[in-house]
Amino acid sequence: MSVRGAAFIAGAYEHPLREIPDRTVAQIHAEVAAGALADAGLGFDDVDGYFCAGDAPGFGGLSMADYMGLQLSYVDNTETGGSSYLYHVGHAAAAIAAGKCRVALVTLAGKPRTGGPPPGGAGRFFDAPESGFETFWGIPGAIGGYALAAQRHMYEFGTTSEQLAEIKVAASLHAQHNPNAFLPDPVTVEEVVDSPMICSPLHRLDCCVITDGGGAVVVVAPEVARQLDRTCAKVLGHGEAPKHTANGRIDLTYSGAVWSGPRAFEEAGVTPADVDYASIYDSFTITVMMTLEDLGFCEKGKGGPFVADGALVAPDGRLPFNTDGGGLCNNHPANRGGMTKIIEAVRQIRGEAHPAVQVPDCRIALAHGTGGSLGMRHGSATLILGQEDA
């Protein structure tokens, strides 16, 4: 069974705020749910499938179904960190194809900026079997694992800080057109490499922003999509894969995208050359470079020259990416960038990105998530979307 054409994204909504001190996480989940449903022309009573991840409070899907009064025939709490929402869209499409639900709501919300509970709750990893061998070394949050991957990439392939910086520069050129972007000002390569070193070789400006916020999408069955006035994005393909430490033989030079990408491309019946726009998970600049290689947009180890050539800059680069400014400049709500990756891909397919960065006649868009750590274990997911007749 394939999910190609089995589901459409009919609604997408990104919370406009980046600091939300006066609302609870549950409130923000409900707010973005209402936004995405309104975008689709649907209501809460239409929802029969609900998907959320570790950022949802309490029992996750159970608590949020209760909060929002949802009557559900399908619930999925898949948790793979920031990539969870890309898993959810694939799972929603499969559930719709299997007849388990017809209108699937996926929500994300969190407020790491103004002091809400940390997404996923750090305490939950205390009992992980690996924790006694990873938590004693002062790895300062997510950046440490990504820095280890970046250092090895530099060692094996000669990648430079300046090449990584080009990724931030491209994102910042896009963010200047987004009135909601947290960092709306363009930056230069020099500004990135001169920003304070946090975890070598990654500088402050190699990192994504920390923002409150959220987003939601609504995935519907084809017969529902046909009844809506809204332009939908067709789900063409989906692939997912965890990558782990491989009995201590971890290879830091690639991500799980080497498995999730081919699965998604095969299901969609397209190749990297067919992709008009790509939302690439950008927790850090190295995340983007490694993903571009692993998805086959360039050869392994050639991500540096690829990005240094202006490939990522919309609308004319070879592979316009993250035209909302991405997690690097626009928004990384709840420390999770997967939802906004989907939302901007939907905008591009609909022709509703900012005119300065809209890819002309964007037929095929890809969204990719990397949740967890490139340096240890992570969940990769690749989603390929097309126009309604793709």
Partner 1 sequence: MSSGLPTAEPRPTVENHPYWEGTAQGRLVLPRCTACGTVIWYPRAFCSSCRGTDVEWFEASGRGTIYSFTISHRGQGPWRDVAPYVVAYVELEEGPRVLTNVVGCDPDEVKVAQPVEAVFEPAGEYALLRFAPAGTTS
Q: Which residues bind partner 1 (CB under 8 A)?
A: 129-130, 132-141, 144, 147-149, 151-152, 155, 196-202, 245-250, 252, 375-376
144 vs 338, beta carbon nearer partner 1 = 144
Q: Are 357 and 384 in contact (CB under 8 A)?
A: no
Query: What letter would DSSP give residue 358?
Result: P
Q: Which is nearer to partner 1, 319 or 376 (CB)?
A: 376
Give which of 235, 218, 222 is closest to 44, Cα–Cα: 218
| Residue 302 CB, nearest approach to partner 1 (Å) | 20
What is the smallest separation between the CB atom of 253 and partner 1, expressed in angstroms?
Answer: 10
Cβ-based nearer residue to partner 1, 127 or 229:
127
Closest separation between CB of residue 152 and partner 1, Å?
4
Is residue 5 within 8 A of residue 97, CB to CB? The reply is no
Q: CA 202, CA 194: separation in Å to the nearest integer? A: 11
What's the min distance (Å) between Cβ of 112 and partner 1? Answer: 14
Where does the chain show beta strands of DSSP type E?
Answer: 8-14, 49-51, 74-76, 103-110, 197-199, 202-203, 213-220, 233-243, 277-280, 364-372, 378-386
* 240: Cα within 13 Å, side-chain hemisphere: 18
In angstroms, give the least distance from the CB of 127 to partner 1.
Answer: 9
CA atoms within 13 A on the CB side of 127: 2
How far apart, in whole angstroms, are the C-alpha atoms of residue 181 and residue 25?
Answer: 21
For the CB of residue 178, give the shortest distance to partner 1 in the complex, in Å.
28
Contacts for 17 with CB less than 8 Å, ≥ 6 apart: 180, 212, 213
154 vs 264 by CB, closer to partner 1: 154
The distance of closest approach from Cβ of residue 140 to partner 1 in the complex, given in angstroms and rounded to an integer, is 5
Residue 136 vs 389, nearer CB to partner 1: 136
Q: For partner 1, give the closer residue by CB, 68 or 250.
A: 250
CA distance 46 to 164: 44
Nearer to partner 1, 201 or 327 (CB): 201
